[in-house]
A and B are shown apart, each in its own frame.
Chain A
Amino acid sequence: MASPLTLIMPIIPGTDLQTVAATLAQYQPQLDAALTGIGTVHYARVLVLDRSVANLQPGGGTDSNVFAVITEYDGSFDKYIGDFVSQVGAVFDALLQYVVGGAALIPVANNVQDFSNFITLNDASQHEPNTGLFQAYDFTVQKILADA
Chain B
Amino acid sequence: MSTDIDYADVQGTILRGYRVDMARHFILSITDAAGARAFIGQMVSGAPGVPQITTAARWTEKPECFVNISFTAAGLAELGLTTAQLGKFDAAFQRGATADYSAETVGDIGESAPAKWIGGMDDGTRVHVVLNLWVEEEAEVLEKVTAKLRAAFAGCMRELSAHDARALPDNQVHFGYRDNISQPTVQGAPPRKHPIPDDQPVVATGEFLLGYPNQSGGITSVSPAELSKNSSYAAFRILEQDVAGFESFLATYAAEAKVDPEMLAAKVCGRWRNGNPLALQPTEPGTPLPMSQVNDFTYVNATDAAADDTLGLKCPIGSHLRRNNPRNAGVVGTDSAHHRIVRRAMPYGPAYDPAHPDTTPRGLIGYFINASLTNQFEFLTGQWNLASDFVKSAAAPSGSPAGNAYYNVSGQDAFLGVNDPSNPTGPNYSSFTLAGPGAKGTGNTTIAGFSRMITTRGGAYCFLPSITGLKYLSTLVPTT
Contact = CB atoms under 8 A, between A and B. Distances in A.
Are A and B interaction partners?
yes
Nearest to A145: B393
B219 interface: yes
Nearest to B372: A82
Contacts of B372: 82, 112
A111 B382 CA distance: 22
B389 A82 contact: no
A76 B219 CA distance: 24
B91 A113 contact: yes
Given A79-B383, A142-B389, A146-B407, A109 B216 contact: yes
Contact of A37 (B105, B221, B334): B334
Interface in B299-342: 330, 332-334, 338
Contacts of A108: 218
A39 B219 contact: no
A49 interface: no
B332 A86 contact: no
Contacts of A111: 218
B218 A75 contact: no
A55 B393 CA distance: 41
Given A113-B91, A143-B406, A79 B379 contact: yes
A75 B215 contact: no
Interface size class, chain B: 20 to 34
B404 interface: yes
Contact of B218 (A89, A140, A142): A89
Chain A interface size, under 10 / 10 to 19 / 20 to 34 / 35 or more: 20 to 34
B340 to A, nearest CB: 12
A59 B167 CA distance: 71
B171 interface: no
A58 to B, nearest CB: 32
A74 interface: yes
A145 B379 CA distance: 24
Contacts of B393: 142-143, 145-146
Nearest to A111: B218
A142 B392 contact: yes
Interface in A47-89: 74-76, 79-87, 89
A48 to B, nearest CB: 27
B392 A107 contact: no
Interface in B331-384: 332-334, 338, 372, 374-375, 378-379, 382-383
B391 interface: yes
Interface in A77-127: 79-87, 89, 107-113
A80 to B, nearest CB: 5
A44 interface: no
B217 interface: yes
Nearest to A83: B333
A36 B393 CA distance: 12
A39 B392 contact: yes
A15 interface: no
Contacts of A75: 332, 389
B392 A112 contact: no
A112 B333 contact: no
A40 interface: yes
Given A142-B393, A146-B404, A110 B219 contact: yes
Q: Most A CB atoms within 10 A — which of B221, B375, B383, B440? A: B375
A86 B216 CA distance: 5
Interface string B372-415: 10110011001100000101110000000000111100000000
Contact of B216 (A38, A40, A89): A89
A121 to B, nearest CB: 15
B217 A83 contact: no
A86 B338 contact: yes
Contact of B389 (A83, A87, A107, A140): A140
B375 A40 contact: no
Given A38-B333, A113-B91, A82 B374 contact: yes
Contact of A146 (B105, B378, B406): B406
B406 A86 contact: no
A37 B440 CA distance: 23
A11 B443 CA distance: 54
A85 B406 contact: no
Given A74-B389, A86-B216, A143-B406, 10 more contacts: A39-B332, A39-B333, A40-B332, A79-B105, A82-B216, A109-B214, A109-B218, A110-B220, A140-B389, A146-B406
Interface of B: 90-91, 105, 214-221, 330, 332-334, 338, 372, 374-375, 378-379, 382-383, 389, 391-393, 404-407, 440
Closest 7 CB pairs of A and B: A109-B218, A83-B333, A82-B375, A86-B216, A146-B406, A146-B393, A145-B393
Interface of A: 37-40, 74-76, 79-87, 89, 107-113, 140-143, 145-147
26 contacts: A37-B334, A38-B334, A40-B333, A79-B105, A79-B379, A81-B375, A82-B334, A82-B379, A83-B333, A83-B338, A84-B333, A85-B216, A87-B333, A87-B334, A89-B218, A107-B217, A112-B220, A112-B375, A113-B90, A142-B389, A142-B406, A143-B393, A145-B392, A146-B405, A146-B407, A146-B440
